[in-house]
């Protein structure tokens, strides 16, 4: 035993090494991984594991073969199989899925944005597709993914019945993006602030002490005025950004409101076919009356888009010809929730007729679905969802295919940021 110990201790160690850089970064920042000290042409599996704020475990993995130097490099070598394929180091994030045996219909969303998304990345011998918890990894590294950059400040908004959160960016830029989003979901606004914007996430689906009957145009106008009067916000450098129903609201407000006059507007997966001219309660009641138009596929997943197309309010669709500011539409052509592509085409024709088509920019991504999230977020084709107008829990089909959807999220985010900087940061003093 003693002789063996001495022999091992005097040999040069050749244990595999795994490096993931950066160790800490924003969620929209790429990382790179490198595995060294492997035998040449060795089959290995790169595996990522994350425990969500809801305590569910998510994983992704790729199959690699080391090169003649015994190395695997994410930006150079291809994954030959697994949850993603190709030269896709970020596939360890965007192809994540719940581990086997998890609850059905999960969606990964960050709730506590002041805690990082910790991802454990490991390398295993051989090409594995299951049973990772029963195997011993050759090497492991942990990387932190943040929605909040150092220096970003968070403030609760509880003023004039308005409920929301204000994030102030890491540099003194006096303009803001008002993110209209159901519930109080903060991660996108926090990420916008991490890029220097003052950004407000606005809660509107039955905020505390409020009824849906009271959530109408005046609610959003009051929120706009609060931000407009904030000392860190420049009054003539304002924008509105919405996702899904938030986009529907944004289009209505930008078209008709005498108070909300932003310098630009971004709508992700939205439509002009369901104008919010009264309260959200009345809009939901109208949708409830046409619930028979919901289609359920063979997998018991609800396709929502047909209901929107059947609404009689199409005859009273939002008059986007009234819009006076640059408008960016971001859509996936496999959106099964909102007829966003058809809506964009009709909006383009309406704006052409009205003479403001030059204000419209449309991004349409092939095989992308409804939930176009920040870069490298996992793709969710279908998840659990509660219908607001019936309170029924269903499985909603969002659409999209994993790899093209991941591309859409990365490309759209870059273009959204560029669009906001172009129209908000010009002539800032």
State both tokens at 426. Answer: 């010009």
Which residues are 364's β-sheet partners? 331
Is residue 219 helix, strand or coil?
helix
Question: Which position has the token pair 């009234």?
Answer: 322
Ramachandran angles phi, psi of 63, nearest 5°: -100, 125
- Cα-Cα-Cα-Cα dihedral sign, residues 185, 186, 187, 191: positive
Find the catalytic residue in 195, 304, 335, 423.
335
| Cβ contacts of 242 within 8 Å, gap of 6 or more | 179, 180, 181, 248, 249, 250, 251, 266, 267, 268, 270
Cα gap 50→29, rounded to integer Å: 17
For 212, half-sphere exposure in the C-beta direction (CA atoms, 13 angstrom radius) is 12
Which of 230, 370, 405, 423 is catalytic? The answer is: 370
Q: How many residues does the chain have?
A: 429
Identified catalytic residue from 63, 244, 334, 423 = 244
What is the distance of C-alpha 323 from the center of its chain? 26
370 catalytically annotated = yes
Q: Is 77 a catalytic residue?
A: no
**Tokens 């084709």 — which residue?**
381
Half-sphere exposure at residue 394, Cβ-oriented, CA atoms within 13 angstroms: 22
Cα separations in angstroms, 413 against 64, 117, 148, 266, 331: 29, 19, 16, 11, 12
Residue positions annotated with a catalytic role: 244, 335, 370
């Amino acid at each position: 035993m003693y002789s063996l110990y001495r022999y091992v201790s005097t040999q040069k160690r050749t244990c595999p090494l795994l490096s993931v850089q950066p160790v800490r970064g924003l969620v929209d920042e790429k990382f790179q991984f490198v595995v060294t000290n492997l035998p040449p042409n060795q089959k290995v599996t790169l595996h990522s594991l994350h425990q969500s704020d809801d305590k569910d475990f998510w994983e992704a993995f790729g199959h690699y073969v080391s090169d003649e130097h015994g190395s695997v490099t994410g930006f150079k070598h291809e994954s030959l199989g697994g949850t993603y394929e190709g030269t896709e180091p970020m596939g360890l994030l965007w192809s994540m899925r719940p581990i086997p045996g998890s609850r059905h219909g999960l969606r990964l969303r960050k709730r506590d944005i002041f805690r990082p998304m910790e991802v454990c990345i490991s390398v295993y011998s051989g090409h594995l597709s299951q049973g990772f918890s029963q195997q011993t990894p050759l090497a492991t590294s942990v990387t932190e993914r943040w929605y909040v950059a150092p220096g970003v400040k968070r403030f609760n908004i509880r003023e004039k019945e308005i409920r929301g959160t204000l994030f102030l960016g890491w540099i003194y830029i006096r303009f803001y993006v008002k993110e209209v989003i159901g519930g109080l979901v903060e991660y996108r606004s926090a990420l916008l602030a991490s890029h220097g914007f003052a950004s407000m996430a606005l809660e509107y689906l039955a905020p505390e002490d409020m009824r849906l009957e009271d959530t109408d145009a005046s609610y959003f106008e009051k929120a706009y005025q609060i931000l407009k009067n904030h000392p860190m916000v420049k009054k003539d450098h304002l924008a509105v950004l919405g996702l899904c129903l938030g986009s529907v609201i944004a289009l209505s407000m930008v078209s008709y409101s005498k108070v909300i006059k932003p310098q630009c507007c971004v709508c992700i997966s939205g439509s002009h076919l369901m104008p919010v001219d009264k309260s959200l309660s009345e809009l939901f009641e109208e949708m409830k009356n046409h619930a028979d138009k919901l289609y359920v596929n063979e997998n018991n997943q609800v396709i929502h888009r047909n209901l929107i197309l059947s609404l009689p309010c199409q005859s009273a669709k939002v008059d986007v010809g009234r819009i006076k500011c640059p408008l960016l539409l971001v859509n996936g052509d496999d959106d099964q929730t909102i007829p966003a592509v058809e809506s964009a085409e009709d909006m383009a024709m309406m704006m052409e007729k009205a003479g403001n088509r030059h204000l419209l920019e449309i991004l349409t991504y092939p095989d992308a679905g409804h939930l176009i999230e920040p870069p490298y977020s996992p793709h969710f084709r279908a998840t659990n969802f509660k219908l607001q107008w019936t309170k029924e829990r269903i499985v909603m089909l969002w659409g999209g295919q994993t790899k093209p959807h991941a591309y859409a999220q990365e490309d759209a985010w870059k273009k959204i940021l560029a669009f906001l900087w172009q129209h908000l940061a010009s002539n800032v003093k």
